[in-house]
Amino acid sequence: MCLPRLHVLCAAAVLFAVAFGAGACASLRFGRAAAAPPARNVILLIGDGLGAAALTMARNYHLGAAGRMHIDELPATGSCTTYAVTEEDPRRPDYVADSAASATALATGRKTSNRRVATEVGTDAPLPTVLELAQRAGFRTGLVSTSTLADATPAAFASHIDYRWCHGPASMSACPKSSSMFGGPGSIVEQLVETRPDVLFGGGRALFAQPIPAGPHAGRTVAQAAVARGYRVIETAADIATLAPGAPALGLFAEDNFTPIWLPSLASFPAGPAERCRPAERPADQPTLVQMLEAALRLLSPGDSEGPGFFLMAEAAMIDKRAHSADACGQIGETVELDRAVAVARSFAEKNPGTLLIVVGDHDHTPQIVDPKYAAYVPGMTTTLATADGAPMTIAYATSYFGMSQQHTGTQLPVFAFGPDADEVIGLIDQTDIFRIMLQRLGLDDAAAGRGAK
């Protein structure tokens, strides 16, 4: 704001900026050429199954009801709807989305039916993803997950298939049209290698060990095909430090999904006495989400290299998987790990002002926080935890029978953002709008995805 006695100088500065651009004014002031605009970066952190209840559980347990996590401190907040569409009629909503349909909405800006991965209902046509569009425009790209890399969320950003469980070459009987045996693009892991993001970190080592039956890589395992595509393949957390920018990096840190950070809680009917969660013995060769995120940011943004920037999706996948198992401690531990990753991503965004950080779930999940006094009457499994406040917190899981997998729910989700374009998430939006916001930050538009801008 201009002080009164400086209004003449301020007015002159404004006129100069209008005539010659604000960059020229900065150059005059500092006696040097205007700096290049900051790189355009997008970091999308997805908590699989991260709904409001999961966040509240983690906050209460870890910090207390009045505490604030890193995610709570992000300045722009809103909500997003998550519905899918039905396979029979794509004009009709399916109110409870699975991870494949919801990740497709985030990755492509298009609704699809449950179990589809970045493909269109009816036609099976591939839907262009934000990662693919960014890659074509010269951006570096990366996918990070604590699940197998063939799981629905990472798969939806770099592969296209009509059935999410066609993970590797050995499971393609369910997706014959996509099989390389019939000239198709192959399984999810085969397609990930062909799409060739600069960084692929996650689990699924067993899938990458499967042989490819046909096509240019016939007879090779998927991991060997990755090496032929230029990837440096690593398998332990210690190997991460040996990676350098340049060649694409494929980190396969678990045979399947990662080991949960915290040991399971004991869900019962009715709730038992309050317990504290216990840390798990995660294998030393499995990195944390924070370690993978830090390495991905280092590889995607080398300070001495040119380029427009990067797109990175990093997923805390085990929040969802522990919720399916009615495991409150496991769910909370994975949410706390995601929150630590939020702090890392925000720190990077603060140091790199062209960076947009978005944190969101893909769908809601089962847990509810209920009054411990009435836990005996809750129609489902319950766990009571002793929180940081020293108070009992009872969590109920009641979307399926005892011993069966708990299920997703269709509630809207909180969404958080930091950086340029962060205010676009304020209010109620849909998951498909997050795709549009990310394209906007990258300087792309919906026309690049084969449709007009919204």
Q: Hunting for tokens 């002002």 — which residue is that?
A: 353
Number of C-beta neighbours around residue 442 at 10 A: 23
Longest Cα separation, the chain? 78
Give the closest residue to 134 by CA, choosing from 453, 454, 448.
448
Give DSSP secondary structure letters for 19-68: HH-HHHHHHHHHTSPPPPPPPEEEEEEEETT--HHHHHHHHHHHT-TT--
What φ, ψ does residue 431 adopt, rounded to 5°?
A: -55, -40
Q: Kindly compute the dihedral angle of the four CA atoms of residues 161, 166, 168, 170, in this order, to the nearest 10 degrees.
A: -130
Find the helix or strand (DSSP H, E) in which 107 lies.
Answer: helix 99-108
From the candidates 99, 113, 145, 187, which is the catalytic residue?
99
Burial of 140 (C-beta count, 10 Å sphere; 0-12/13-18/19+): buried
| Token representation of residue 217 | 């890589």
Find the helix or strand (DSSP H, E) in which 79 lies.
Answer: strand 76-81
Does residue 27 have an active-site annotation? no
Q: Which residues does the annotation mark as catalytic? A: 99
